[in-house]
C-alpha cells in the first residue's frame, strides 16, 4: 500500500491546520471579502454617476472618462481594498478563529526588514532594466511628468497600493495558498493553483478583451514568483514588498499606455508590447528568485520535495 505523503519543511502551509477549516467557512470568507468590494464599487459608482449627471447632463462618454480618471479610480480602489482587507481580517478572527499573523508568517511577529528587502530588490531590478531599455530605445519613452498633479498622485499611490498589494498577498499567498495546502500534500499544487487564480482576477487589466489575455499571463507569472518566495521563506513578507513596489513603480515611474490605471501622469509613459512584456516579466521573476535565494538552494528545493511517513525525501 502506498504510504501517505505529507508536506516537507514548509511550515507556512502547516499553519492552515490552525483554527477552524470547514469548507463553508472558506466560501463565506471569500464571498464576504470580495463581495464588500463589489458592492462598494457599485454604490460609489452610482453616486458618482448621479452627481455627474445632475451637474453636467447625461453624456455617457464624459461619464466614462470621469470614472476611469486615475484621480477617481485610485481612491475608489483604495476604498474597495481597504474594506476587503478589514472584512478578511474579521473573517480570519471570527469565522476561522485564527490569529492574523498565522496568514503572514510562521514567526510570532512581522519581519518588516523582509518587506523592505523585497521592495529594494524589485526596485533595483526594475530600475536597471528601465535604464537599459531607455538607452536601447529612448524614443519608446515619453516624458509625461506633470508637476501640478504628480504630488497628488504620489500621496494617493502611497496610501492605495500598500493596502491593495498587502491585501492581495494576504489573500492569495496567505489565505488561499494555505487553503489549497489542506487539499493537497504537495506544495506545488497550492503554488500553481493560486498563481492561476491570481492571473485570472487580473483579466480586466487589459485595455480591451483582445489584449486582456496578456495581463493574465503576466500576473500568473508574477504570482508564481511571489508564491515561490512565500513557500521558500515561510512568509508573505518579501512577496508583499515586491508587490507594493511593483504597483508603485507602474503608477509613478513608468506607466504603460492603455493600462488599467488610465492616463496616469507618471514620470514616463511607454507603449505596451504584450509579447516583450511577458518575456521581461519572466526575466524579472527569475532574477528576483536568484537574488533572494542566493546561497539558500535548500529552501527552494523544499517547494518540490515532500516526505513519506518513513521520512524519506521524494521528488
Residue-wise pLDDT tens digits, 96-152: 999 999 999 999 999 999 999 999 999 999 999 899 888 988 888 999 999 999 999
209 pLDDT above the threshold of 50: no
4 pLDDT above the threshold of 60: no
Res. 166 pLDDT band, cuts 50 70 90: very high
214 pLDDT above the threshold of 50: yes
Q: How far, in Å, CA of 313 to CA of 5, rounded?
A: 10
Q: How far, in Å, CA of 193 to CA of 118, rounded?
A: 23
E-state strands within the chain: 5-7, 142-143, 254-256, 268-270, 306-308, 313-314
Point out which residues pair with 105 in neighbouring strands. 235
User: What residues have CB less than 8 Å from 3, skipping those under 6 apart?
Assistant: 308, 309, 310
13 pLDDT above the threshold of 60: yes
> For 31-37, what is the mean pLDDT?
96
Higher pLDDT, 305 or 43: 43
What pLDDT, on the 0 to 100 scale, is given for residue 310? 41
What pLDDT, on the 0 to 100 scale, is given for residue 289? 95
On whether the CB atoms of residues 244 and 229 are closer than 8 A, the answer is: no
C-alpha cell at 168: 492581495
Return the SS3 of 259: coil
On whether the CB atoms of residues 102 and 18 are closer than 8 A, the answer is: yes
Res. 248 pLDDT band, cuts 50 70 90: very high
Pairing of strands 142-143, 268-270: antiparallel
User: What residues have CB less than 8 Å from 238, skipping those under 6 apart?
Assistant: 114, 115, 117, 118, 229, 230, 292
Q: Which of 3-17, 118-132, 195-209, 288-302 is predicted with the least confidence, judged by mean pLDDT?
A: 3-17
Amino acid at each position: 500500500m502506498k504510504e501517505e505523503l505529507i508536506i516537507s519543511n514548509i511550515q507556512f502551509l502547516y499553519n492552515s491546520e490552525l483554527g477552524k477549516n470547514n469548507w463553508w467557512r472558506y466560501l463565506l470568507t471569500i464571498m464576504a471579502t470580495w463581495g464588500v468590494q463589489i458592492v462598494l464599487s457599485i454604490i460609489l459608482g452610482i453616486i458618482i454617476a448621479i452627481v455627474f449627471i445632475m451637474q453636467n447632463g447625461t453624456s455617457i462618454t464624459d461619464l466614462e472618462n470621469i470614472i476611469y480618471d486615475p484621480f477617481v479610480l485610485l481612491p475608489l480602489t483604495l476604498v474597495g481594498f481597504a474594506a476587503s482587507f478589514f472584512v478578511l481580517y474579521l473573517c480570519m478572527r471570527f469565522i476561522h478563529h485564527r490569529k492574523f499573523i498565522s496568514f503572514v508568517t510562521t514567526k510570532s511577529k512581522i519581519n518588516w526588514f523582509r518587506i523592505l528587502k523585497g521592495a529594494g530588490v524589485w526596485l533595483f531590478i526594475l530600475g536597471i532594466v528601465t535604464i537599459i531599455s531607455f538607452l536601447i530605445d529612448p524614443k519608446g519613452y515619453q516624458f509625461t511628468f506633470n508637476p501640478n498633479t504628480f504630488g497628488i498622485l504620489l500621496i494617493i499611490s502611497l496610501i492605495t497600493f500598500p493596502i491593495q498589494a498587502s491585501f492581495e498577498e494576504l489573500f492569495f499567498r496567505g489565505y488561499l495558498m494555505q487553503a489549497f495546502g489542506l487539499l493537497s500534500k504537495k506544495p506545488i499544487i497550492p503554488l500553481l493553483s493560486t498563481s492561476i487564480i491570481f492571473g485570472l482576477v487580473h483579466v480586466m487589466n487589459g485595455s480591451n478583451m483582445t489584449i486582456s489575455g496578456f495581463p493574465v499571463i503576466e500576473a500568473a507569472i508574477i504570482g508564481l514568483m511571489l508564491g515561490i518566495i512565500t513557500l521558500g521563506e515561510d512568509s508573505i513578507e518579501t512577496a508583499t514588498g515586491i508587490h507594493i513596489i511593483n504597483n508603485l513603480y507602474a503608477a509613478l515611474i513608468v506607466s504603460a499606455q492603455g493600462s488599467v490605471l488610465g492616463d496616469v501622469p507618471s514620470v514616463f509613459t511607454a507603449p505596451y508590447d504584450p509579447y516583450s512584456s511577458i518575456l521581461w516579466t519572466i526575466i524579472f521573476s527569475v532574477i528576483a528568485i536568484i537574488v533572494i535565494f542566493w546561497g539558500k538552494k535548500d529552501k527552494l528545493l523544499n517547494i518540490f520535495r515532500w516526505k513519506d511517513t518513513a521520512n524519506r525525501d521524494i521528488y
